[in-house]
Amino acid sequence: MPLTKRVAAYIALAVLALGGCAAPTRQTEPTNAQLQVDYLRDRDERMNALLDEAEAYIASYQYDLAVQVLIRAYQIDPTSERGRKIGARLDRDRRDLTSLQEADRMMQRGSYALAEERVHRVLVQNPTNPLAQQMLREIQDKRNQQRALKEEKVAASSIMHTPVSLQFRDANVRMVFEALSKTTGLNVIFDRDVRADLKTTIFVTNATLQDTVDMILMQSQLDKKQLNASTLFIYPATPAKELEYQELKVRTFQLSNVDAKQIQGLLKSLLKLKEVVVDEHANTVTIRGTPDTIRVAEEMIAAQDIPEPEVMMEVQVLEVSHERLTDLGIEWPNSFTMSTPSTASTWGDLHHLPINALNVSGLSATANFKLTDTDANLLASPRIRARNKEKARILIGDKVPVISSSSTPSTSGPSYTQTVQYLDVGIKLEIEPQVYRDGDVGMKLSLEVSNITNTIQTGGSSSGGLTTLAYQIGTRNASTSLRLRDGETQILGGLISDNDRASADKVPGLGQLPVLGRLFSNHNNDHVKTEIVLQITPHIVRAQTSADADTQEVWSGTDVNVHADQLRLDPVVAELEPTTPHPVVRRPGSVGGGTTEGAPAATPHSSTQSRPATSPPESAFGQPPAQPRTTPPPQPFGGRYSTLPALPAPATNGPQPPAGQGAAEAPSGSDSANANANGGAAQNSSAAPAAQAAVSTTPPEPAAPAAPTTPPPILVMPPGDMSSDNPLHPVQNGGY
């Protein structure tokens, strides 16, 4: 029994020993600071590794894997702020990706406006989304292409470049525009304040409709506003009407090389702009004006906003100094002192004082044999880059303090204060370069070399016990202007300072002897010679550039109105005229007494009574009347959407007139349409019986072969809703 108890005791002691040898943990020792720090460091390392992995998955759009990694990280540290932010970013990126995928489907279907709206919603919530930024750039490029294509189509369909010929004298302006409207298809809308009695006189031949209208409006003090490719709105050119009808634009110019204040003064002085706003922080200029004013201002700013030239200057400053100091001779005492002892305090003691009891100062002679030579070379080789006509400064030296004292009177006595100022002592170089068009560099150079020659220090009771310190400074200056080629080296020297000082301490009489005087004198010589050499080499880093020839000289209109283009009346080029002659038709665009091909010019406003009786009746504009239509007009869209019943097909066995017969005898409906399209006058239908008789008396000829049936034109799908993959968000197609 005692043995069993002893074994149990041994086992208990072994268990206690093993328990004491086990590694301590955070749970077993909660107060151990080192264990807490190690635990937190290990937890942070594992969290950062998992969160970095989650961010990599998010960047590669693998959101499911990122969710799994975030769940593991949440189990390690549920309170991690970084983990919470990454989780919120994951949810946001998922929603954004859904919206961007929907926007991509809209882009593929051509709905760029709605796609841009979706992308803008994403960028409002997450401005740094790279996929949204890329899609926005693509959408903007597509929309810009569509706008450019639309503008090209509008310009191509514009009738303002149609050639016209006018001959009017003292004609009413409204009647002239009515003639232009009938001949060219120009739509004209007049303001209610346009006077009805305005008259104009104009004789132009083969000029564009745009230039002709501008000339009529200029001489009638009118102005226009173009509503579309074939519609003009005419109003009086008064300040009130211009404020009412003239549309303005706002344009912001980002400047890079010129100050915004300078551009503001330029625009106000030349273009008389009143609404010019400058942002000095962003260096931008925002103006508000007409489109022509914006175009002229853009050309002017482009001519001013050019990079300024820059020059890299290699400077070498060499200062060579030589100093020789000699101190030779015997320095004899120059003073002797004799005094009575301190025990002789009365006249009687002084009377009985022997001469041997007097106190005298010690006498000594010093022989000096000193020669000092000092050679110094100071080399500074800085490089400095400067802009055109801006000063560059170089200082090689020290800033020495100058201490001064000042007093302020008061009732209790003056109060003294000290101030410290610093002076630049050394080599100071100032360079102002100027780059020329031929590659030369002009420089205004100023060199100053200064050194301390003497130190002046004062102090005493007069300054309240304060000490003042000042320096005597020697200065050498040189200023010049020179012009060098790029890479040419110029050496400037001659700044020499040569100081020679000699002093001697002699015993009177003996020191002035010719030879023996050297034994009774001490000579000091100080010779200092300094020379400064400056070497400078300019290198053009950015040459002087000039504005383009198109921006150096631009048209700006008149002193009242700003126009980007010159008001001219240029003739239409020959390539635009028809090369094949047309039988008995007028030149395109001829109105108001113009001439016809092969016929002499008629006098404007000539009377119809002077014409031969055999001439056919004419309309109000001197054109033969149009022939009556012998066939029904063509139905729009090939008759696919016509509500009328289809006409019976003509008999094929009957006699048919030849294809060119109608065109040979008189202008048919298609000919009159072509004439109207080319600017011919609209014809009156008063000669219909004569045209009908001419058609009926034509002998029958074999029928011409039927023209092949043309396919119907392709229809453009109108804007509408088309279902997408997301039933909650329909996609609108055909919109712009």
Tell me the C-alpha distance between 453 and 507, whole Å: 30
- Match 């209208």 to its residue by tokens: 213
Give the pLDDT band (50/70/90) at residue 416: confident
Tell me the C-alpha distance between 104 and 139, whole Å: 10
> Rg for the chain (alpha carbons), in Å?
52
> Is the predicted pLDDT of residue 83 greater than 60, yes or no?
yes
More reliable by pLDDT, 75 or 672: 75
Q: What is the pLDDT of residues 669-678, one digit of tens each?
A: 333 333 333 3
**324-333, 441-450, 667-676: which range is least confident on average?**
667-676
At residue 239, the pLDDT reads: 87
Q: What is the pLDDT of residues 245-265, one digit of tens each?
A: 888 889 999 998 899 999 999
Secondary structure tally for the chain: helices H, strands E: 16, 22
DSSP letter for each residue of 354-402: -GGG-EE-----EEEEEEEEEEEEEEE--EEEEETT--EEEEEEEEEEE
Mean pLDDT of the 101-129 span:
88
More reliable by pLDDT, 355 or 462: 355
Tell me the C-alpha distance between 288 and 295, whole Å: 12
At residue 673, the pLDDT reads: 35
More reliable by pLDDT, 59 or 609: 59
Other CB atoms within a 10 A radius of the CB of residue 258 amount to 17
**What would the two tokens of residue 343 be?**
């025990």
> Is the predicted pLDDT of residue 429 greater than 50, yes or no?
yes
Q: What is the DSSP letter of 179?
A: H
The values of phi and psi at residue 421, to 5°, are -120, 155
> Is the predicted pLDDT of residue 398 greater than 80, yes or no?
yes
Tell me the C-alpha distance between 717 and 711, whole Å: 18
Coil, strand or helix at 188:
strand
Q: What percent of the chain has pLDDT over 70?
A: 72
Tell me the C-alpha distance between 85 and 592, whole Å: 79
**237-241, 315-319, 334-338: which range is least confident on average?**
334-338
- Match 């030579």 to its residue by tokens: 373
3-state SS, 84-100, equals HHHHHHHHHHHHHHHHH
Q: For residues 202 and 178, is the Cβ–Cβ distance under 8 A?
A: no
Tell me the C-alpha distance between 469 and 448, whole Å: 23
Angle, helices 33-59 vs 81-108, to 10°: value is 0
Contacts for 77 with CB less than 8 Å, ≥ 6 apart: 43, 47, 83
Q: For residues 204 and 166, is the Cβ–Cβ distance under 8 A?
A: yes
**182-186, 475-479, 546-550: which range is least confident on average?**
546-550
Coil, strand or helix at 614:
coil
Tell me the C-alpha distance between 555 and 375, whole Å: 69
Q: How far is CA 504 from CA 324, 515, 520, 524, 643, in A?
A: 16, 15, 10, 6, 135
- Could you give the dihedral angle defined by the CA atoms of residues 206, 211, 215 and 220, in that order, rounded to the nearest 10 degrees? 120
How many residues does the structure list for the chain?
736
Cross-strand partners of 571: 207
Tell me how far apart the terminal alpha carbons of the chain are, to the nearest angstrom.
105
At residue 235, the pLDDT reads: 93
DSSP letter for each residue of 112-123: HHHHHHHHHHHH
Q: For residues 482 and 443, is the Cβ–Cβ distance under 8 A?
A: yes
- Match 């009985």 to its residue by tokens: 352
At residue 79, the pLDDT reads: 87
**What would the two tokens of residue 56 be?**
């990599």
Contacts for 294 with CB less than 8 Å, ≥ 6 apart: 249, 251, 287
Tell me the range of 293-307, 560-574, 604-618 where mean pLDDT is highest: 293-307
> Is the predicted pLDDT of residue 161 greater than 90, yes or no?
no
Tell me the C-alpha distance between 207 and 622, whole Å: 20
Q: For residues 400 and 450, is the Cβ–Cβ distance under 8 A?
A: no
> Is the predicted pLDDT of residue 109 greater than 70, yes or no?
yes
At residue 311, the pLDDT reads: 92
> Is the predicted pLDDT of residue 685 greater than 50, yes or no?
no
